[in-house]
Amino acid sequence: MQVPGSLSLYLGKQFLKNVGVIFAVLMTIVFLIDFIELLRRAGDKEGIDIFTILQMVLMRLPTLGQKLLPFITLFGGMLTFFRLAKTSELTVIRAAGVSVWQFLFPSLTIAFLIGIVALTIINPISAAMRAHYDQMEAKYFDKQSSLLTLSSNDLWLRQVDDDGLSVIHARGAINQGIDLTDVIIFRYDNKNVFTSRIDAARAILHPRFWELANVVVTGPNMPAVRHDRLTLPTSLTVVQIQESFASPGTLSFWDLPDFIATLEHAGFSGARHRLHWYSLMAGPVLMLAMVLVAATFSLRSLRQGRTAFLVIGGIATGFILYFMTDIIYALGLSGNLPILLAAWIPAIAITLFGLAMMFHLEDG
């Protein structure tokens, strides 16, 4: 039987309305929790008023909303199907010969379109706002900002020690930033007065010091001094350097490919950013999967009469899948799974789970 356009439009409106209701409720809760947390953190800080805190919360809200979008779709779908069942509309639709796939098509279409809009339009906006939030957090909460700036041709490191500041410039990096090539180091004292410049062919990071090779040291009113080897104390660690790149969440879907290419060209691993990029692409498929999971638990309750149990089961399934996603992502970052596979496994696995349960419900 072909589903009338008016019925598809009605089902789509019901799904969209309930997704909107769940979105408003969850985002209000997230806003209040984040606002209270920032108020607590600002309690011992000076110069932070309530309007600054409010701005910071609003800057981070789109990012949090994107993370919650699959759950919003899951809960919105369950709410839609339960309401249709409660008013017996679903019973009438099924009695008219409409299959479950025809019945779900409007919701699946809307969920997929929401995922596309979130990927292509909302994500760039949320990334820009998240970057602004990180800047405000570094300014007002004394959180250390990025130690490293990366371009297509070189990189810059900022090293703050007890005796002053060192700004390190390098043309390239080997072994994830442990080994730098064509290095120039500008040294400043605690009053930000320039004291010396160090040119080195190579700089290797060891615990608590840099080992420099083929070194030339110059400075104000002093002749150039050459050294075959020279050590420079440092408080930097490998982890600090590798974590100093722009967070994947501060880069839009459209900017990530160029940044990953720049990152890998400079000798660093782009695995974390590449995983984030692939997972963003899997987002629309994950939205489809959540509708299938919602239908699996919502429609089963009509035939088995265990509504409360199945609602809890649907919610628990969503959270279990969320935690399993984190585990799979960790396996991808550790190299135990290919990055592309790790990013797509959650969306594909949840989709297959939903399809299998729906086939069992409809035909089993």
Per-residue pLDDT of the chain (364 residues; tens, 9 = 90+): 556 678 889 899 999 999 999 999 999 999 999 999 988 888 777 778 888 899 999 999 999 999 999 999 999 998 898 888 878 787 788 777 777 888 889 999 999 999 999 999 999 999 999 988 888 887 777 655 555 666 655 777 887 777 788 888 888 777 666 788 889 999 888 888 888 899 999 988 888 888 999 999 998 888 888 999 998 888 777 766 766 666 788 888 998 888 888 777 766 778 888 999 999 999 999 999 999 988 888 775 455 556 667 677 777 877 788 788 889 988 888 888 899 999 999 999 989 988 888 887 766 5
Instruction: Give the helix/strand (H/E) hosting 38.
Output: helix 5-41
Q: Cβ distance 226 to 215 under 8 Å?
A: yes
Looking up tokens 């039987």 gives: 1
Contacts 24+ apart (CB under 8 A), 102-107: 102/1, 102/3, 103/3, 103/11, 104/291, 104/292, 104/295, 104/358, 105/3, 105/8, 106/8, 106/9, 106/11, 106/12, 106/15, 107/11, 107/12, 107/15, 107/77, 107/80, 107/291, 107/295
CA–CA gap between residue 6 and residue 14 (Å, rounded): 12
Q: Cβ distance 94 to 256 under 8 Å?
A: no
The predicted pLDDT at position 141 comes to: 77
C-alpha 221 chain-centroid distance: 50
Looking up tokens 């990071």 gives: 205
